[in-house]
Structure 1
Amino acid sequence: MNEPLPVPEAASSGAGTQPDLTPQSPERKLIGRGTLVSLSLASFVPAVQFATAPLLIFSIAGPTAWVAALASMIATMCVGAAVVHFARRYIASGSLYSYVGTVFKPWARYLVGASLLGGYVMGVAALVTVVGIYMGSFLHSLGIETATDLVPLLGVGVATVVVVTAIALLGRDTSINAVVVLTAISLPLVLTIIGASVVHTGFDLSPSMDFGSFNLEATLGGAALGMAGLVGFESSSALATETQDAKRSVPWAVMAPVLVIGGGVPAVLLLTMPGMLESGDALAAGASAPAALAANAGMPIWIGQFSDLFLAIASLGSTLAFLNYSARLAQNLAGDGLLPAVMQRVDSRRGVPHIAIVAVAGVSLAWILVFSIALRNVFEMYSMTATLVIFLWVLPYIVITIAAIVGTVRKREMRPILWTASGFGAVAMTWVLIDGVRNAAPGVSSKMIYVMAFITVALIIVFRLSLRRNRTGQRPIGLTAEDIGDLPLLESDGVAR
Structure 2
Amino acid sequence: MTTSSGSQAKPARVLGIADAVTIGAGAMIGAGVFAVFAPAAASAGAWLPVALLVAAVVAYCNATSSARLAAVHPESGGTYVYGRERLGELWGYLAGWAFVVGKIASCAAMALTFAAYALPGWERPVAIGAVLALTALNYRGVRTSARITRFLLAAVLAVLAAAVVAAAASGRADAAELSLAGDWPGSFGLFGAAGMLFFAFAGYARIATLGGEVRDPATTIPRAITIALAGVLAVYLLVGGAVLMVLGRDRLATSSAPLADAMAAAGWPALVPVVAVGAALASLGALLSLVLGVSRTVQAMAADRHLPRYLAAIHPRFGVPHRAEVAVGIVVALLVAAVDLREAIGFSAFGVLVYYTIANASALRLGPEENRPPLLVPVVGLAGCVVLAFSLPLTSVISGAAVLAVGAAVWLVRARWASPAR
- Give the TM-score band, short-chain normalised: 0.7 to 0.9
Distance in 1 between residues matched to 2:180 and 2:308, nearest whole Å: 57
2:141 counterpart of 1:179: no
2:283 counterpart of 1:332: no
Please tell me whether the aligned partners of residues 38 and 255 of structure 2 are also in contact (alpha carbons under 8 angstroms): no
Equivalent of 2:92 in 105, 109, 126:
109
Q: In the TM superposition, what whole-angstrom CA distance separates every residue of 1:149-190 from its partner, at most 9, and x where no partner exists?
A: xxx222112211221112112222111111221222233123
Equivalent of 1:420 in 352, 361, 376:
376
Aligned to 1:484: none
1:406 CA drift (Å): 3.1
Equivalent of 1:50 in 33, 40, 47:
33
Structure 1 residues 232 and 407: alpha-carbon distance in aligned structure 2, compared to 1, 3 A threshold: same
Structure 1 residues 118 and 201: alpha-carbon distance in aligned structure 2, compared to 1, 3 A threshold: same
Aligned to 1:311: 279
Structure 1 residues 249 and 330: alpha-carbon distance in aligned structure 2, compared to 1, 3 A threshold: same
Q: The residue matched to 1:350 in structure 2 has which SS?
A: coil
Q: In the TM superposition, what whole-angstrom CA distance separates every residue of 1:62-108 from its partner, at most 9, and x where no partner exists?
A: 34422221121012211222212212222110111111222222222
Aligned to 1:457: 408
2:219 counterpart of 1:248: yes
2:362 counterpart of 1:403: yes
Equivalent of 1:219 in 179, 183, 190:
190
Q: In the TM superposition, what whole-angstrom CA distance separates every residue of 1:109-156 from its partner, at most 9, and x where no partner exists?
A: 2222222222232222222222222224xx4xxxxxxx1xxxx22211
Please tell me whether the aligned partners of residues 339 and 467 of structure 1 are also in contact (alpha carbons under 8 angstroms): no
AA in 2 matched with 1:238:
T
Map 1:284-295 → 2, pairs under 5 A: 286=255, 288-295=257-264
CA RMSD of aligned residues (A): 3.2
Q: The residue matched to 1:348 in structure 2 has which SS?
A: coil
Please tell me whether the aligned partners of residues 139 and 320 of structure 2 are also in contact (alpha carbons under 8 angstroms): yes
Q: The residue matched to 2:157 in structure 1 has which SS?
A: helix
Distance in 2 between residues matched to 1:250 and 1:105, nearest whole Å: 24
Q: In the TM superposition, what whole-angstrom CA distance separates every residue of 1:282-329 from its partner, at most 9, and x where no partner exists?
A: x577451122111122113x4213422331122112111111111111
Please tell me whether the aligned partners of residues 100 and 400 of structure 1 are also in contact (alpha carbons under 8 angstroms): yes
Aligned to 1:166: 136
Distance in 2 between residues matched to 1:112 and 1:224, nearest whole Å: 18
What is the TM-score when the length of structure 1 is the normalising length? Answer: 0.75
Distance in 1 between residues matched to 2:36 and 2:77, nearest whole Å: 29
1:419 CA drift (Å): 1.4
2:153 counterpart of 1:193: no
Equivalent of 2:59 in 69, 72, 76:
76
1:350 CA drift (Å): 2.3
Aligned to 1:231: 202
Q: In the TM superposition, what whole-angstrom CA distance separates every residue of 1:247-284 from its partner, at most 9, and x where no partner exists?
A: 1111122334432223432333334432022x965x57
Aligned to 1:480: none
Q: Which runs of 5 or more residues in structure 2 are unaligned?
A: none
1:334 CA drift (Å): 1.8
Aligned to 1:483: none
Moved more, 459-468 or 192-201: 459-468
Please tell me whether the aligned partners of residues 14 and 143 of structure 2 are also in contact (alpha carbons under 8 angstroms): no
Structure 1 residues 130 and 422: alpha-carbon distance in aligned structure 2, compared to 1, 3 A threshold: same
Structure 1 residues 92 and 449: alpha-carbon distance in aligned structure 2, compared to 1, 3 A threshold: same
Distance in 2 between residues matched to 1:117 and 1:466, nearest whole Å: 24
AA in 1 matched with 2:283:
S
Map 1:424-463 → 2, pairs under 5 A: 424-436=380-392, 439-440=393-394, 445=396, 447-457=398-408, 460=411
Please tell me whether the aligned partners of residues 67 and 266 of structure 1 are also in contact (alpha carbons under 8 angstroms): no
Distance in 1 between residues matched to 2:184 and 2:174, nearest whole Å: 18
Please tell me whether the aligned partners of residues 27 and 206 of structure 2 are also in contact (alpha carbons under 8 angstroms): no
2:17 counterpart of 1:33: yes
Please tell me whether the aligned partners of residues 296 and 321 of structure 2 are also in contact (alpha carbons under 8 angstroms): yes
Q: In the TM superposition, what whole-angstrom CA distance separates every residue of 1:327-346 from its partner, at most 9, and x where no partner exists?
A: 11111112222222221222
AA in 2 matched with 1:423:
V
Aligned to 1:376: none
2:245 counterpart of 1:274: yes
AA in 2 matched with 1:460:
W
What is the TM-score when the length of structure 2 is the normalising length? Answer: 0.88
Structure 1 residues 353 and 212: alpha-carbon distance in aligned structure 2, compared to 1, 3 A threshold: closer
AA in 1 matched with 2:158:
P
Distance in 2 between residues matched to 1:344 and 1:389, nearest whole Å: 24
Equivalent of 1:298 in 264, 267, 289:
267
Aligned to 2:175: 205
Distance in 2 between residues matched to 1:81 and 1:32, nearest whole Å: 19
Distance in 2 between residues matched to 1:339 and 1:269, nearest whole Å: 40
Map 1:341-356 → 2, pairs under 5 A: 341-356=309-324
Distance in 1 between residues matched to 2:112 and 2:182, nearest whole Å: 39
Q: In the TM superposition, what whole-angstrom CA distance separates every residue of 1:20-50 from its partner, at most 9, and x where no partner exists?
A: 9878xxxx5521111111221112225x443
Q: Which runs of 5 or more residues in structure 1 are unaligned?
A: 6-17, 140-146, 373-380, 475-497
Distance in 2 between residues matched to 1:35 and 1:103, nearest whole Å: 28
Structure 1 residues 19 and 72: alpha-carbon distance in aligned structure 2, compared to 1, 3 A threshold: same
Please tell me whether the aligned partners of residues 69 and 262 of structure 1 are also in contact (alpha carbons under 8 angstroms): no
Q: The residue matched to 2:305 in structure 1 has which SS?
A: coil
Structure 1 residues 466 and 190: alpha-carbon distance in aligned structure 2, compared to 1, 3 A threshold: farther
1:414 CA drift (Å): 10
Please tell me whether the aligned partners of residues 26 and 285 of structure 2 are also in contact (alpha carbons under 8 angstroms): yes
Q: The residue matched to 1:43 in structure 2 has which SS?
A: helix
Structure 1 residues 259 and 412: alpha-carbon distance in aligned structure 2, compared to 1, 3 A threshold: closer
Map 1:357-372 → 2, pairs under 5 A: 357-369=325-337, 371-372=338-339
Distance in 1 between residues matched to 2:271 and 2:341, nearest whole Å: 26
> What is the aligned length?
418
2:25 counterpart of 1:66: no
Please tell me whether the aligned partners of residues 77 and 296 of structure 2 are also in contact (alpha carbons under 8 angstroms): yes
Structure 1 residues 84 and 118: alpha-carbon distance in aligned structure 2, compared to 1, 3 A threshold: same
1:394 CA drift (Å): 1.9
Please tell me whether the aligned partners of residues 65 and 269 of structure 1 are also in contact (alpha carbons under 8 angstroms): no
Map 1:11-30 → 2, pairs under 5 A: 28=12, 30=14
1:453 CA drift (Å): 2.8
